[in-house]
Structure 1
Amino acid sequence: MGDYRKPLLSLWSTHDYTNLLNWQDESSSIYMNCLAWNPMRTNEFCLDSSNDFVNGQIPLSISEHTKNSCEITLCVYLISNSHLVLCSTNSSVVTCWNTRRNLCLLHWKADSNEICYMTTSKYKLLTGLSIGRLRLWNIENLEVNLGQTNTNDSNYSLTLQDEFQLDDEIISGSFDNTFSIDIVGTSCRSLWYICWTTQRTKIRLVVSHTDRIMGVIPIEDTHIVTSSVDDTIRIYQLEDRNEILRFDTNGLIISDGTLHIFNLLHGQIVLKLHPHTPSITAINVPPN
């Protein structure tokens, strides 16, 4: 721990004496006076400084994270709380952040490979892997337990509810309001119908795209729209899971930064925008 000339906090491993972490308050110049470890939790500490009192938490597997390059792959807000964000990484770790306090509240190893798909409902979290594994998590009590500093549950009542193994990397997906039914697209042109209820079934739709499925969008829990690298957009009816409409974009899905808006009922383009010079990789529309 540095003095007033360099208020830097460094964490070292007693196993191989390597530097694991450096932290410094960039917002203001502070003097670090003392540090005390939590006797009940080996990864928590409190820091007394000239301006603040800091309560810190260090990931238990921080040495593992620093040995390998770690990239944030996805971020989603918890629907029940507008300032809690879940972030997934290519090392299959999911972290929960408080965006108001810039604080990591929780992290856990969600699986064994890169998480390439993640979405949430009010009480559920869905993660999809690059190897095709789909996991459903129960996060109903997560928000309540995160606010309790004296909880003895290290996982904050976060539980794995169910999982399915699909055929390849999970690229996109859509779910109903109750989060009991999912439609998932994979990188090997498959479109899967997943039922998480007591029936617990997965059905691969027979009619699908000829290339990677890049997007799945629901329409009022009755239909879904899918897009693919094969330049086609298709509409499926969820009741019988049959394809009811297909039209070719005629090469308009290209990488010049243009954005095309289609009328799905007539299969026609109604508006063309050019917001970017490079290719557009993601589009998101606010719920309101």
Structure 2
Amino acid sequence: MKKSIIVAGATGNLGHKICRELIAKGAFVKAIVRNQTDPEKTASLVKLGVEVIEVDFNNLEAIAMACTGVACVVSALAGLSDVIIDIQKNILDAAVKAGVPRFIPSDFCTNYNDLIPGENRNFDLRRTFKTYLDSQRIQASSIFNGAFADILTYNTPVLNVKDQSIAYWGDKADWKLDFTTMDDTAAFTAEVALDDDAPRDLQIASFQISPKMIQADVKAATGAEFNLRQLSTLDDFKQSIVKQRAENPAGEKELYAKWQQAQYMYSMFSTHHDQLANGGYESLTWTDGLSFIKSFVTRR
């Protein structure tokens, strides 16, 4: 008998990919979406074979009805406190009410458990929801994928193809950063959703790569030697983020305010995954750093 999995946030890029992977693994997939969601986005899910259910996310009875008979709820929602805390709580409460045994929260980020509260606004929201989730009678599994590998294509300080530079903070030129492609994250999440015995926390990374290793891979891919440089100490970087945030109160209502982007970068140089669960599912393959860098650097 096919397992039934429900996905919240299925119209987003990651959520859509998770649905695709679940369908490919033989699951019956339902997606709960907001009322009056863009028809093109729901049509794309239907084309995959997903049953789309429009609900009011403030209506616990409606969500619970959608969750009936479901083996696991996967949340791929993105947002601020009204989404990561409030809407996820509603979905969780409805899942518990419907007797769903397992829940995967939207923890697709660096493992924030070892980070200091207050250093990353979006991680703090997830930490608040985690406390509530762990108080409920439901089995939970969080998937920590580090940073999505796509950010390497955005000309951030870590790899700026336009300026041919690679930067780091502190003495972290050899510090390995955790990157996972969205496709690899989705494939792993599908496996976890179907695994009744999945543990509470799972750390993954398609590849772990230091600034020096990025420099070497870029040279292997292009023949060019990008400039490798230290920007500041980590403490100075931290203080500059505090200053940016204080000077931009409007950013508190933005999901990816500039200071929040800097907080993500700071977290990447503050902690990394030391117990990868990549080998937990034999069917999975993982993208390597050089292949990923070649996929976009050589096109420039």
TM-score grouping bracket, smaller chain normalisation = under 0.3
So what's the TM-score if we normalise by structure 2?
0.22
Larger Rg, first or second structure (1 or 2): 1
Larger RCO: 1 or 2 (CA < 8 Å, sep 6+): 2
Using structure 1 for the length normalisation, give the TM-score: 0.23
Report the structure, 1 or 2, having the larger strand content: 1
Q: Which has the higher helix share?
A: 2
